[in-house]
Amino acid sequence: MFENLVVGSGITGAVMANLLADKLNEKVLIIDRRNHLAGNIYDYKEEGITIHKYGPHIFHTNNKEVWDYLSKFTDWHYFQLKPKVFLEGHFATLPFNLTTLYEVFSVGTAEKYENKLISEYGYGAKVPILVLKKNKDEDLRFISNYVYENVFKNYTSKQWGLPPEEIDESVTARVPVYISHDNRYFQDKYQAIPKQGYTKLVENILNHKNITVKLNTDYNDVKEKKFKRIFYTGSIDEFFNYKFGQLTYRSLNFDIKHVDKEYYQLSAVTNYPNNYDFTRITEHKYFLDEKSNRSIISLEYPQEFKLGQNERYYPISNKQNQELYEKYLNEAKSIPNLYFAGRLGDYKYYNMDLAIERAIKLFKEVYE
Ligand code: FAD
Ligand code: UDP
């Protein structure tokens, strides 16, 4: 008899299962309807190259507790993402920063804008594009318009089907204009990729005598069974059979190509805001510095999430969805011993570290 059911074997479900099994010494059944572990961080090897099936994943966090916890299950390959953006026919530094200024403008012009940005915001400041756009100074307006038009407007409309002003400000603020020559995408203290990949990491997290894993198993297949507690990391609207309506998501389609070159591009990730229908190209061998004469890339095409046709990737944060989510959450609260977590269960745009933080916090709330 299992005391706990965990629905979903993504990083949230895996951490939850591990804590229940290890700290409480209780039996856990963890199920996933996919035919593999690890949810959207799943990776697999082809031609000696580790492919991130559901998009490029770089682990980054400032949270030492999360870093230490994961480090029990993996060795790390230290990796810091320095992506490129294809701008006006050239590959430039992303996030847009002081280095990018010198890549796209003449030295004199770049110097002028560099000084202006530093005196206005201070060296090291991170300024979301929608904040920069509000600045009335003529030079800064030129810069903000340039960045808005060339980096954000078209990428965002491909990614979300909406212009930047019509999505939650926190989304474009994930990639602020950075008043710095630090060319990394993230500045977190800890940044790395699991040396044996994310799937192996999740396998290790779940490798515990109290844990049983069942793949190809939907919640509907087990819901008649009795469990002391249920932790659900699938979509909360689906759990309630969409009784109040569907939460909306953005989905993605990946076109994976094998290329007959040692390297296809300059960096693991290159964004294409203004050209083509895809948003970015990932070259997978960079993540673990895997050597091969050939390479594998994936082109990322955003699309609407359609039930039964594709996967949920990004929750869409707007007023309507937030209200709908709250309705489901209220409903959930009325059912004892049922808990929701994760990107789908909480309907939040979590990075991996926040998903783990959330699982640890929920575990503590329920059991301490
Ligand atoms: P998921 O990984 O979605 O897991 C949920 C699991 O539940 C799935 O396996 C699903 O099959 C299963 N499930 C759902 N419903 C049911 C059901 N009814 N029955 C059985 N099983 C069910 N984060 C970073 O920190 N760094 C990055 O670089 C990064 N890059 C990203 C790139 C992309 C393109 C995307 C989309 C996300 C990225 N993320 C990144 C975020 C990261 O993917 C998430 O934080 C993480 O995967 C969330 O894990 P989760 O367990 O909450 O959800
Ligand atoms: N964004 C953009 N241009 C870029 C990179 C990001 O407009 O070159 C915007 C876009 O709206 C995107 C958001 O910033 O959805 C967050 O970008 P991030 O790279 O964090 O997206 P993720 O990796 O989560 O898909």
| pLDDT tens-digit series, residues 42-89 | 999 999 999 999 999 999 999 999 999 999 999 999 999 999 999 999
| pTM to 2 decimal places | 0.98
Q: Is 198 exposed, middle or buried (0-12, 13-18, 19+ CB in 10 A)?
A: buried
Task: Identify the segments of the chain with pLDDT beneath 50.
Answer: none
Interval between CA 22 and ligand 2 midpoint (Å)? 37
Rg (CA), the chain: 22
Question: Strands 249-259 and 295-304, how do they pair?
Answer: antiparallel
Name the DSSP letter for residue 248. P
Per-domain residue ranges of the chain: 4-79+191-245+315-367, 96-178
Ligand nearest to the CA of 315: 1
For position 368, what pLDDT does the model report? Answer: 75
Q: Which ligand is nearest to the CA of 205?
A: 1
- Ligand 2 neighbours, Cβ below 6 Å, are 85, 94, 151-152, 155-156, 159, 171-172, 174-175, 271, 273
| Confidence (pLDDT) at 287 | 98
> 172 CA to middle of ligand 1, Å?
20
Q: In terms of DSSP bridges, do strands 269-271 and 84-87 run parallel, antiparallel, or are they unpaired?
A: parallel
31 C-beta closer than 6 A to ligand 1: yes
Q: What's the 161 CA to ligand 1 centre distance in angstroms? A: 21
Quick one: which atom of ligand 2 is closest to the CA of 94? 8
The domain 4-79+191-245+315-367 belongs to what CATH superfamily?
NAD(P)-binding Rossmann-like Domain (3.40.50.720)
Q: Looking at residue 187, what is its pLDDT?
A: 98
253 CA from centroid of ligand 1 (Å)? 15
Give 198 Cα–ligand 1 centroid separation in angstroms.
12
| Residue indicated by tokens 């099994």 | 21
Which phi and psi angles does 286 have, rounded to 5°?
Answer: -65, -35
Provide the pLDDT for residue 201: 99
Q: Which residues pair with 255 in a beta bridge?
A: 299
Tens digits of per-residue pLDDT, 157-212?
A: 999 999 999 999 999 999 999 999 999 999 999 999 999 999 999 999 999 999 99
CA dihedral 347, 299, 62, 95 (to 10 degrees): -110
pLDDT of residue 1: 75
- Determine whether the shortest distance from the Cβ of 112 to ligand 1 is under 6 A: no
The terminus-to-terminus CA distance of the chain in angstroms comes to 24
Three-state secondary-structure class, residue 228: coil
* Ligand that comes closest to the CA of residue 160: 2
Tokens, residue 253:
């389609």
pLDDT at 296: 98
